[in-house]
Amino acid sequence: MTDAKKPPIKDVDAYLAGVPPRMAPALRALRATIRAAAPHAEEVMRMGAPTYLHHGTLVSFSAAAKHCAFYVMSPGPIARRKEELQGYDTAPSAIRFQPETPLPEALVTAIVQDRIRENEAKR
């Protein structure tokens, strides 16, 4: 039995080109919102997912078989927004959502800005 490994995805554009068509618009919008909220963050691929770095890991996102996910990398921003996140499937540092119901731009912006403050406070 052979384990034919796929070559690693080199950049976010290639990643988005390979996600299911129903998920791509939501993830492209999420990417644009993250980039607008954190214009100085570096965009990289880490562990197969688009990841943003600013004084450490900021946020990440991915497509799964049945949902999209926004990884916040810290429990604080999610805990502070429990009410806003009602209706979404959350974990301490992740928000899972259906591509037909993307995360609101203002919510993503606020979370990214929280993460920037958290990372900068650790410096």
Q: How do residues 43-77 score in pLDDT, each as one tens digit?
A: 999 999 999 999 999 999 999 999 999 999 999 99
% residues pLDDT > 90 (the chain): 89
- DSSP structure class, residue 9: P
At 1, is the pLDDT very low, low, confident or very high (cuts 50, 70, 90)? very low
Give the integer Cα–Cα distance in Å for 11 and 6. Answer: 14
Strand order in the sheet with 49-53: 42-46, 49-53, 57-63, 68-71, 94-97, 89-91
Q: The pTM is what?
A: 0.92
* pLDDT tops 90 at residue 109: yes
Please state the φ and ψ torsions of residue 43, each to the nearest 5 degrees.
-100, 120
pLDDT at 123: 80
pLDDT at 100: 95
